[in-house]
Chain A
Amino acid sequence: MTDIQYLAPTTLDEAIRAYAAADGTGHILAGGTDLLVQTQAGMVQPGLIVDIKNITDVTGIERAADGGFIVGAAVAGAALEKHTDFATAWPGVLEGLNLIGSTQIQGRASLGGNLCNGSPAADSVPALVAAGAILSVQGPDGRREIAVEDVPAGPGKTNLKPGEIAVSFAFPPRTKGASDAYLRMIPRTEMDIAVVGCGVNLTIEGGVCTAARVGLGAVAPTVLLVEKAANALIDSKLDDDAITAAAAACSAACNPIDDKRGTVEYRTRVAGVLLKRVVGIAAERAQA
């Protein structure tokens, strides 16, 4: 049996040093709801497990100088949900995160783990993309910032460099008349993997949509930022024509797999249907 090591450093520098020194056999442990399932199943055989939950940089929820939020990559769903200011500002992001698993899973599952696990169907990621969240990562070569949509590289793969750890997500400050929403389609009503997930973030001023971002999950090898759908909404009054055009752009962006949960045709069609519903919810919240 190969020797496994467990470390729970209290500083980011220590974590990065150990992780980089493990030469590809290191694995970051946040909530473990993906990692420990994978190690138990023998899919992953870590030489070193670096538990990052004793590091305050990755477990805090803070207000940035510009009024936005900085959410640690390892903050669990149950903890973020209790932060009422965040919940008011980003209900869609919270919807995505809180849809993950059961109460028990919520006690552990994090935004960073959901993103870094690299599943195209990860529920919080379309909402993070729609929010315009920026991920701050730190590695042996220092800190850098990456837009969330640029993190996934394919199923199970990210664009993080060897030794890099996801530290926190920066959410832009909220303006008046802006809100977000996330919905997923699953064959059951609970506890399943998304067939399509859609996140929308909107700003509405004087009845006109002045800014929009659309994130789409489970319909391609990575979660997608669908700019054409957003462009169809921007400068419109969110009338039927605009929403229909945005839905068509979502369907056009799909490049899904065929599996027991949904066929290509089904996923492509549902992507448009979900977009319409999510725009409705986000618009209602933005104008509340």
Chain B
Amino acid sequence: MAKLHISTTINGEPEEFLCAPNETMLDVLRNRLGLTGAKEGCGSGDCGACSITLDGTLVCSCLMLAAEAEDKEISTIEGMADGETLHPLQQKFLEEAALQCGICTPGMLVAAKALLDENPDPTETEVRFWLAGNLCRCTGYDKIIRAVMDTAAEMRGATK
């Protein structure tokens, strides 16, 4: 099958890759670019483990063709920490034990960051609705929601 040559930006850096026309962004990230943070939980848009942002919008990378990345900006979990400094959400997930096996965690973090970028002061209901497409089979949602709420409060405090 003829490969497509795609030029895009991933986590702020220009990136080029070859992909099949029907290859998903998730497969390219994981299998061609070595960015294995995004996970495949279902491959059908149900679990959110493959969450990334595409031009700032939260999407499932399993339901996006890699070819669609041409001239777009993609952010993945690998771009979340600033060098060795964890993003406040990552730090809080660790401190409050908002993860167990960790499979859902990259998706949770990417999704939660997209929320806080848009709404720094969400209600608990808003956080729960926003993360409804991110499934976790081990931690239980309370710790995750609490970690997001606590991070939001901390980040608001820091910018005051």
A residues neighboring B (CB under 8 Å): 1, 3-6, 8, 29, 31-33, 36-37, 39-41, 46, 49, 51, 53, 76, 78, 101-105, 107-108, 190-191
Q: Which 4 A-B pairs have the closest CB atoms?
A: A102-B133, A6-B21, A107-B57, A107-B59
Q: Give chain B residues whose Cβ lies under 8 Å from the Cβ of A51.
A: 65, 67-68
A36-B65, A103-B130 known; A3 vs B2 contact (CB < 8 Å)? yes
A49-B65, A102-B133 known; A37 vs B21 contact (CB < 8 Å)? no
Q: How many A-B residue pairs have CB under 8 A?
A: 90
Q: Give chain A residues whose Cβ lies under 8 Å from the Cβ of B115.
A: 103
Q: How far is the CA of A76 from the CA of B68 in the complex (A)?
A: 15
Contacting residue for B44 out of A31, A37, A103, A108, CB 8 A: A37
B20 an interface residue at 8 Å Cβ cutoff? yes
Q: How far is the CA of A101 from the CA of B63 in the complex (A)?
A: 13
Q: Which residue of B lies closest to A48 (CB)?
A: B21
| B67 A32 Cβ-Cβ under 8 A | no
Q: How far is the CA of A142 from the CA of B27 in the complex (A)?
A: 38
Contacting residue for A37 out of B2, B48, B63, CB 8 A: B63
Contacting residue for A101 out of B51, B57, B70, B133, CB 8 A: B133
| A108 B1 Cβ-Cβ under 8 A | no
B103 an interface residue at 8 Å Cβ cutoff? no
| B21 A33 Cβ-Cβ under 8 A | no
A8-B67, A32-B65, A108-B59 known; A103 vs B22 contact (CB < 8 Å)? no
A102-B132, A103-B130 known; A4 vs B1 contact (CB < 8 Å)? yes
Task: Give 19 A-B pairs besides A53-B68, A104-B111, A108-B59 with Cβ atoms closer than 8 angstroms.
Answer: A3-B1, A6-B4, A6-B67, A8-B67, A36-B24, A36-B65, A37-B44, A37-B63, A40-B62, A41-B44, A49-B22, A76-B57, A102-B133, A103-B111, A103-B133, A104-B45, A105-B133, A107-B58, A190-B132
Q: Give chain A residues whose Cβ lies under 8 Å from the Cβ of B70.
A: 8
B80 an interface residue at 8 Å Cβ cutoff? no
11 contacts between A and B (CB under 8 A): A4-B1, A4-B21, A32-B63, A40-B62, A51-B65, A78-B57, A101-B133, A102-B133, A107-B54, A108-B63, A191-B46
Give the one of B44, B54, B114 with max A CB within 10 A. B44
Q: How far is the CB of A265 from chain B (nearest CB, A)?
A: 30
B43 an interface residue at 8 Å Cβ cutoff? yes
Q: Which residue of B lies closest to A37 (CB)?
A: B44
A6-B21, A37-B45 known; A105 vs B60 contact (CB < 8 Å)? yes
| B63 A5 Cβ-Cβ under 8 A | no
Residues in B92-142 with C-beta less than 8 Å from chain A:
111, 114-115, 129-134
Q: Give chain A residues whose Cβ lies under 8 Å from the Cβ of B129.
A: 103, 190
Q: How far is the CA of A3 from the CA of B54 in the complex (A)?
A: 27
Q: How far is the CB of A212 from chain B (nearest CB, A)?
A: 31
Q: How far is the CA of A101 from the CA of B133 in the complex (A)?
A: 7
Q: How far is the CB of B159 from chain A (nearest CB, A)?
A: 23
B64 an interface residue at 8 Å Cβ cutoff? yes
| A104 B51 Cβ-Cβ under 8 A | yes
Give the one of A1, A6, A31, A105 with max B CB within 10 A. A6
Chain B, residues 10-24, CB within 8 Å of chain A (1/0): the string is: 000000000011101
Q: How far is the CA of A3 from the CA of B24 in the complex (A)?
A: 16
Q: Which residue of B lies closest to A39 (CB)?
A: B22
Q: How far is the CA of A78 from the CA of B58 in the complex (A)?
A: 9
Q: Give chain B residues whose Cβ lies under 8 Å from the Cβ of A40.
A: 24, 43-44, 62
Q: Give chain B residues whose Cβ lies under 8 Å from the Cβ of A6.
A: 4, 21-22, 65, 67
| A4 B63 Cβ-Cβ under 8 A | no
Q: How far is the CA of A146 from the CA of B62 in the complex (A)?
A: 33
Q: How far is the CA of A78 from the CA of B57 in the complex (A)?
A: 8
Q: Give chain A residues whose Cβ lies under 8 Å from the Cβ of B44.
A: 37, 40-41
Q: How far is the CB of B70 from chain A (nearest CB, A)?
A: 7
